[in-house]
Chains A and B, each alone.
Chain A
Amino acid sequence: MSGILVAVIGIIVFALGYRYYSRFVADKIFRLDPNYVTPAHKYEDGVDFVPTNKFVLWGHHFSSVAGAAPIVGPAIAVYWGWVPAFLWVILGTVFAAGVHDFGTLVLSVRNKGQSVGTLAHRLIGQRAKVLFLFIILILVLMVNAVFAWVIANLFISYPASVVPIFIQIPLAVWIGFAVYKRKKKMLIPSLFALAVMYITAVVASKVDFLKIDLVQYMGGEGGDGLFGLGAVSTAFFIWIIILMVYVYIASTLPVWKLLQPRDFINSHQLVVGLAILYLGLLFTNPEITAPATNVDTDTSWFPLLFITIACGAISGFHGLVSSGTSSKQLNKETDARLVGYFGAVGEGVLALIAIIAVVTFFPSKEEFLATYSSFAASSGSGLGVFVEGASRLATGLMIPPEVATTIVSIIIISFAATSLDTSVRLMRYIIAELGVEYKMPALSKTHVATSIAVVASAALVLLPEGPKGFGSGGYLLWPLFGTSNQLLAGISLLLISIWLKRQGRNYMVTLIPMIFVLFMTLIAMFQQVVFEWSWFGSSSNTLLFIFGAIIFVFAVWIILTAFTTLTKNMNDSNIK
């Protein structure tokens, strides 16, 4: 089957979903009112609450939610065949993610622009706050540890990407200075910086001298490293230490000096990446070689498929962005349809091309099955296959393969690095907040909190032996990421359902995806905690069992409390 045909079918479904289903939800369920005074107008303060043009707001929303996750998830999930992944991405986007992102936006707009966290806290109670902080702390710790491994792994696999990535740092500092101190516009300097990065990528992929290949320096894969670790492990160790030092500095510097200018440069990469991949698809017209469904698997697709593809189908983090920043800037209530629903569609389009890039890469079905031989193997090589597959699509635009590989790896490293330094910063804020909560003022000091965040992440990466060898300790907790994230999405859908019920409207549009998502998540959690990680499970793991069991119990508790709220008569309501 042709890759173009799959892309066309997917895009037609997205278009129909946006044109008809989102209109139905907007008019009949949420009943958007163009005359409603949105929080952006009511509380306009020029800082958080600013009425913004809907297309600009869509751009902001889309670039905030799109990152490495809609690529990584689908690249792994094609293990069960491309049809299940494709169906979950398109149907999940149209019926679950679109309604979720759109609904959290409308719910927040109707409640003074408050975030889902605040609304859940008010609904479920005071103790929920500590639970939420705990879940978010585990989530960001996992992101730090896993993304550090992902970046180190890409640096080792694609050594030509090292110099372009590191050249970005002085360029970003220069842009920060030009934009904030010299009051220059940021578009031209950031495009210039991107051009410099890509030119460096072209040169580095042609000139061996510019490839910083630590493994080769130590005598190849069989070479001796430091402390008797072997060359590859030593390379991981060095890259992870460098990354940890970098995130420490990046997350303590004022944001305008490094983080924001890096974000400007990276946000172009999303546009560049999508353009290269879709144009490349059009010019190369590749055939899909991966099997439509793969029944001979060691891990069942049910319920794991729905956890593996989170961003790209439905993801709880989108609700945090929708209700956190986007809702405070919505000019008219009717704009919510474009910003929320179409934002989710944008993410779906990214996930769709990630699937196509992976399933068209292999010359034959046998080679696909050899690489995707087990679920563990597909988790390990999914991202690498995407890099190769995406660069093959890029060759359709006359980009030489080695240059294309370097550019695609740069795009992924940039996304992952932005997530990494943001999540270290987030972890610092959470530690500081816990310090205030438990009256330990020392924890709220910037350097104390950052040190704890960085040391804990580094310890998780380096101390335990992870499933992918030395340096992949983050993957020990990673199986919890998908479930915690989906749990957040389920709770947000539950809140929207409660709100719709109180308004006396049909709440099936959010209740059905909510039941689906929560059912899959709880089944997956239960299976993993009891049948896999417990002491009599198939792969006993105390660490995962403890964390998994805590999250599972909290999840059940939250859902039961929330269901009681949903079913009881709600005259005295907190949520209007």
Chain B
Amino acid sequence: MLERMKKLLDFYEEVLSMPHRTEIARELRDQDDLFLLLLYSEMIGIPNPVYYYTLELYPYMIEQFHDWHLRMGMEKSPMSGIRCC
């Protein structure tokens, strides 16, 4: 009985949070996009004083970069310097 009650409450909580989850996910994605822009700014012609350091992040960012260009509707990586697929 208690287990069922808990399940019902979890379900209700999920219904409640569903429309808001989208909003938070969108905000997070915008922040990530901004971060990507900072990271790759040198490649699109924006001078980046910490370019040398951000270079070290590339191996960790490559998957996210791949997701990003797919989401933007580009099947292949748009930058010649980065080949992720």
A interface, CB within 8 angstroms of B:
45-48, 50, 52-53, 55-57, 59-60, 63-64, 180, 185-187, 190, 255-256, 260, 263-264, 267, 325, 329
Contacts and interface: CB of A to CB of B under 8 A. Distances in A.
Nearest to A185: B13
Interface string B57-84: 0000000000000010000000000000
Interface residues of B, number: 19
A7 to B, nearest CB: 25
Nearest to B70: A45
Contacts, number: 52
A59 to B, nearest CB: 3
Interface in B14-71: 14-26, 29, 71
B24 A180 contact: yes
Contact of A186 (B16, B23, B71): B16
A187 B12 contact: yes
A190 B23 CA distance: 18
B63 to A, nearest CB: 14
Contacts of B9: 187
Interface of B: 9, 11-26, 29, 71
B18 A52 contact: yes
Contacts of B24: 180, 256
Nearest to A47: B25
B15, B20, B22, B71 interface centre (most CB from chain A within 10 Å): B15
A190 B16 contact: yes
B13 A186 contact: yes
B16 A46 contact: no
A45 B68 CA distance: 10
Given A45-B71, A47-B29, A53 B19 contact: no
A150 to B, nearest CB: 24
B18 A60 contact: yes
Contacts of A50: 21-22
Nearest to A49: B22
B22 A186 contact: no
B11 A187 contact: no
A269 B18 CA distance: 17
A260 B20 contact: yes
Given A63-B15, A329-B18, 8 more contacts: A47-B29, A50-B21, A55-B11, A57-B18, A64-B19, A180-B24, A256-B24, A263-B20
A60 B15 contact: yes
Contacts of A325: 19, 22
A152 B22 CA distance: 33
Contacts of A55: 11, 15
27 contacts: A50-B21, A52-B18, A53-B14, A56-B11, A56-B14, A56-B15, A59-B12, A59-B15, A59-B18, A60-B15, A60-B18, A63-B15, A180-B24, A185-B13, A187-B9, A187-B12, A187-B13, A190-B16, A256-B24, A260-B20, A260-B23, A263-B19, A264-B16, A264-B20, A325-B19, A325-B22, A329-B18
Contacts of B12: 59, 187
A386 B11 CA distance: 31
Nearest to B29: A47
Given A45-B71, A47-B29, A256 B13 contact: no
Contacts of B15: 55-56, 59-60, 63
Given A45-B71, A55-B11, A256 B16 contact: no
The residue among A56, A263, A267 with the most chain B CB atoms within 10 A of its own CB is A56
Nearest to B13: A187
Given A47-B29, A55-B11, A56-B11, A267 B16 contact: yes
Given A186-B13, A187-B13, A56 B22 contact: no
A211 B13 CA distance: 34
A66 to B, nearest CB: 13
Contact of B22 (A48, A185, A190): A48
B23 to A, nearest CB: 6
A316 B79 CA distance: 45
Contacts of A63: 15
A186 B13 CA distance: 7
A60 B13 CA distance: 11
A187 B16 contact: yes
Closest 4 CB pairs of A and B: A59-B15, A47-B25, A187-B13, A60-B18
Nearest to A45: B71
Contacts of B23: 255-256, 260
A56 B25 CA distance: 18
B13 A47 contact: no
Contacts of B17: 186
Contacts of A59: 12, 15, 18
Contacts of A260: 20, 23
Given A56-B18, A60-B19, A46 B25 contact: yes
A371 B19 CA distance: 41
Nearest to B19: A60
A64 B18 CA distance: 11
Nearest to A254: B27
Contacts of A47: 22, 25-26, 29
A548 B83 CA distance: 58
B53 to A, nearest CB: 29
